[in-house]
Amino acid sequence: MSIPITRSTQPKPQPNPAQLGFGKYFTDHMFVMENDVEKGWLPGQIVPYAPITLDPAAMVLHYGQEVFEGLKAYRRPDGRAQLFRPQDNIKRFNRSCVRLSVPEIDQEYFLNAMKQLVITDIDWLPSQPEASLYIRPYLVASDPFLGVRRSERYIFIIILSPVGAYYPGGITPTKILIEGEDVRAASGGLGSVKAGANYAATLRAQTRASQKGFAQVMWLDSHERKYVEEVGTSNAFFVIDDKVVTPSLTDTILPGITRDSCIQLLRKWGLEVQERAVSIDEVWETHENGKLSECFATGTAAVVSPVGELFYRDKSIKIGNNEVGPVARRLYDALTDIQWGRKPDDMGWTITL
Ligand SMILES: *Cc1c(COP(=O)(O)O)cnc(C)c1O
């Protein structure tokens, strides 16, 4: 199944590999495919990266019918490219589509489009340590109509962005503010799917937190503001009494693929993992009696991000002496070794291109 390609006649200069950052640069090509209520998905194509044309009345601009995914292509030591669990991102994308009443995409076709796009722009895949090519598939409602209903037309796009090492100076713990007012997601809403609408609701709290010098906010449940949900756009983990504890997957928590990978590795190593509700009171109490040894967040961007300090109202606690704990360190090393192909992948998680 080969996808038609129109090659760019004006390739862009490549950015300085030392200054990639996250999500600032985009490659020379993109994948585009359109859907029409009568014809379904029309054949897609790879075209030069360029602005898209949307009618000013396009429904996504008014009612936010949009879903997206985020994953990475990695450069192996032998120079080849590989993807990490891409089928899981595709399945999650389709679950998001169902929740947003958007047409799903054939899994095999989706994977093939992603692979061919990465191969087309393979020169953009960085080779310096811990850098990668971020893949952003997304789908928007393009129907020009101002009534509130599901759209009858959609555009599906995949773009690529070379990204630098998340921790240029090595992995370091962050300061996190527990948000007691705004919530990320409420039960029955969109919290367990990757829909753009979720993130709009988080920006006020995130802005307040960063103005006060925090890296991210920790979200609490919408009902009682009592239970931990997520950290920024990552899943939350704690090490309490030598057991690894993470909030169970409810309809307000995004089922992270990094979260699942961590749970699988921990269980393989013989460590106990509990998926259950974790209250803020429990976090404070276990800190006081010396049983809380680690807190960290997991997601595609940072892989594992240790939390060194937690602030809530006017109280704060330091976790693990503000150092990277052994569980976070072991997970970070094991996952990045598999993702960048430095060690054999005995979990069957990677696809080499
Ligand atoms: C994407 C995302 C995550 C992490 O998912 P991964 O598949 O591990 O990248 C966690 N929480 C939220 C809210 C997210 O959007």
Dump pLDDT digits (tens) for 232-250. 999 999 999 999 999 999 9
Among residues 46, 43, 139, 137, which one has the least CA distance to residue 90? 137
Question: Is it the case that residue 264 has pLDDT exceeding 80?
Answer: yes
To test the pocket of ligand 1, the residue of 220, 235, 257, 296 to mutate (highest count of ligand atoms within 8 Å of its CB) is 235
Classify strands 174-178 and 216-220 as parallel, antiparallel or unpaired.
parallel
pLDDT given at position 171: 87
Structure tokens at 97: 């589509």
Average pLDDT over residues 263-286: 98
> What does the alpha-carbon distance between residue 333 and residue 346 come to, in Å, rounded to a whole number?
15
> What does the alpha-carbon distance between residue 189 and residue 185 come to, in Å, rounded to a whole number?
7
Dist. CA 2 → ligand 1 center (Å): 31
pLDDT given at position 77: 96
pLDDT given at position 1: 72
Question: Is it the case that residue 169 has pLDDT exceeding 80?
Answer: no
Dist. CA 53 → ligand 1 center (Å): 29
Question: Is it the case that residue 159 has pLDDT exceeding 80?
Answer: yes
pTM, entire model = 0.96
Dist. CA 86 → ligand 1 center (Å): 14
pLDDT given at position 6: 98
